[in-house]
């Protein structure tokens, strides 16, 4: 078991944009825990020293965000299965005295769909747009939930092929242009690319939700804006849509539980608090 403590962090470079302090601060207050969750800007050159000083500074763990997810993966004494498969660490804690790195993004993705689209598993083929770090977490979640027909479509085909080889049976790789042919029998469409994110311009994905069957669920890991152009198009077709904010909220749950010893809940109140700040 983890050793609950009173001090946790999120490190990144930059870090000011992180929404995690809001989430964990809310839970600390809600549970009356006299602890802290601190946003700390750590430059890449200072990462090893920061990690080496964790215990001495009274930290029981924390979150890791850009650009440190891969470096911390390499530096953690021990890693959980999700981190191994995803190749990145977003959560650190001490276990049996060892700094342990985990990845809770796949958990967050699945928990978000469980909340808003129960029955999403077993819905038929899944089409995943994108082949970066976020796609790895999504594919790991899909495989964990028994998906056996996962189609990765990416602008750079070689990256989709890399993920196909990494995740093995039941995963196929496709160029982005092939997406229209992949949708007709798909039960789930997931955007893991940054297309649709506020400030990214007017790029579009060649993924028309009108080509999906009526029972399909469409979700996006982008949550600014909450309703991306893809989700808006899917909703206009009468399809079930799930925005990406729930993934952010749910991925925070396992970390808080490890550091502070209480399993927090993702409530409408927490969601409203974070939405107010988007």
Query: Could you list the residues that contact ligand ATR (CB under 6 A)?
Result: 130-135, 154-156, 159, 176, 192-195, 203
CB 23 within 8 A of CB 249: yes
CB 41 within 8 A of CB 12: yes
Among 199, 80, 191, 180, CA closest to 131: 191
CB of 44 to ligand ATR, least distance (A): 17
C-beta of 60 vs 63, nearer to ligand ATR: 63
The residue sitting closest to ligand ATR, measured at its beta carbon, is: 132
C-beta of 2 vs 179, nearer to ligand ATR: 179
CB 103 within 8 A of CB 86: yes
The verdict on whether 143 is a catalytic residue reads: no
The rounded distance, in Å, linking the Cα atoms of 229 and 225 is 9
CB of 205 to ligand ATR, least distance (A): 6
C-beta of 145 vs 159, nearer to ligand ATR: 159
Of residues 6, 22, 69, 202, which has the active-site annotation?
69
**Pairing status of strand 125-129 against strand 150-154:** parallel
CB of 270 to ligand ATR, least distance (A): 23
C-beta of 128 vs 249, nearer to ligand ATR: 128
At 15, list the tokens: 């870090």
DSSP string, 66-124: TT-HHHHHHH-SEE-HHHHHHT---EEEEETTEEEEE--HHHHHHHHHHHHSTT-TTSS
CB of 221 to ligand ATR, least distance (A): 8
Catalytic residue list: 69
């Amino acid at each position: 078991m983890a050793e609950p403590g009173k001090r946790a962090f999120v490190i990144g470079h930059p870090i000011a944009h992180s929404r995690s302090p809001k989430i964990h601060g809310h839970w600390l207050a809600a549970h009356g825990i006299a602890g802290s969750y601190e946003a700390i800007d750590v430059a890449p050159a200072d990462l090893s020293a920061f990690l080496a000083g964790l215990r001495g500074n009274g930290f029981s763990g924390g979150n890791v965000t850009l650009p440190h997810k891969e470096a911390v993966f390499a530096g953690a004494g021990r890693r959980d299965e999700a981190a191994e498969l995803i190749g990145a660490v977003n959560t650190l804690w001490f276990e049996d005295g060892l700094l342990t790195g985990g990845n809770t993004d796949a958990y967050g993705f699945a928990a978000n769909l469980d909340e808003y689209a129960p029955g999403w598993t077993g819905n038929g083929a899944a089409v995943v747009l994108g082949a970066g770090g976020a796609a790895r977490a999504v594919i790991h979640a899909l495989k964990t939930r028994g998906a056996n027909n996962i189609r990765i479509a990416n602008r750079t085909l070689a990256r989709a092929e890399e993920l196909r080889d990494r995740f093995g049976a039941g995963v196929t790789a496709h160029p982005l242009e092939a997406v229209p042919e992949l949708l007709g029998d798909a039960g789930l469409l997931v955007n893991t690319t940054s297309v649709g994110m506020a400030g990214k311009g007017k790029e579009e994905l060649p993924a028309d939700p009108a080509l999906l069957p009526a029972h399909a669920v469409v979700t996006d890991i982008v949550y600014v804006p909450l309703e991306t152009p893809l989700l808006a198009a899917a909703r206009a077709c009468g399809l079930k849509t799930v925005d990406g904010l729930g993934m952010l909220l749910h991925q925070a749950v396992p970390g808080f539980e490890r550091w502070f010893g209480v399993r927090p809940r993702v409530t409408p109140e927490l969601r409203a608090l974070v939405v107010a700040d988007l």
